[in-house]
Amino acid sequence: MRILVTGAGGQLGRELIDVLASHELHGRDHSDLDITDRQAVYATVEQVRPAWVINAAAYNDVDGAEKAAELAFAVNASGAGHLAAAAAHAGAEMVHISTDYVFDGRKGAPYTELDRPDPLSVYGRSKYEGELQVLSAHPSACVLRTAWLYGEHGKNFVKAILKAAESGGPLKVVADQVGSPTWAQHLARAIAELIGTPARGLFHVANGGSCSRFEFARAIVNGRVEVEPISAADAARPAPRPANSALASERWQPAGLHPLPDWETALSGFLGEAGRRS
């Protein structure tokens, strides 16, 4: 298939380029395509004529978005909407990546596709608006909410903890935020499976299970340095984050798609690959 991947230079985009290598890929990073430019988006989709548009482009600086709301909404909402409209106009299918931060974290249990979003931050609101614009412009689009993404490329929590551990402990990590850590490679493989099926609509796609940031950090360092729990209030980050935004799906497996491995298995696989590369 001919596939257009936006955000191709980012964490998920680079995994998609690897995982989808058997297809005819047209990757565009921000320097190649500014998705906030509606005319450029339509021209690119018209030129490529893809069977699928996979939007992995995003403004994902959660704290930075609090002071850059206009930019966050331009990329995460309007830009996503431009891509969806252009894809629909060209007869292409669409995958759009969203986030667990569309939820307020007060449910006290994993969120499914049936739960109502109520984002706390500018970033979360911009991503939820993006979901709405995508599905409005392209009703058969696939919107995938994922969480706590990490991998070989780009900045992420796992790489930050590994880097901090090089200087010794103790590391102070938030213990009252719970989520579903997800290896970008596993998400890319899930997308590769999805586009070969008739499944469409909203899906939660994350590695199985959940943990706190503190528990995640302890698993990452595996006893090499001490990790101490702190509260989100102690961390004093600019953007509010959901206390428990763990994800579960009521739609993925019934659509005939394979569930992702649990987060511990995924982390072990990633760390093993990272060790072999170093």
Which residues form the catalytic set?
Answer: 123
DSSP secondary structure string, 132-165? Answer: HHHHHH-TT-EEEEE-SEE-SSS--HHHHHHHHH
Query: H or E stretch including 13?
Result: helix 11-19
Is the distance from CB of 15 to CB of 188 less than 8 angstroms?
yes
The rounded distance, in Å, linking the Cα atoms of 268 and 271 is: 5
- Rounded CA-CA distance 100/44 in Å is 29
Cβ contacts of 22 within 8 Å, gap of 6 or more: none
Angle subtended at Cα 77 by Cα 74 and Cα 82, rounded to the nearest 5 degrees? 85
Tokens 């005939």, located at residue = 256
- Contact between 253 and 153 under an 8 Å Cβ cutoff? The reply is no
Integer Cα distance of 176 and 212 in angstroms: 6
Does residue 52 sit in helix, strand or coil?
Answer: strand
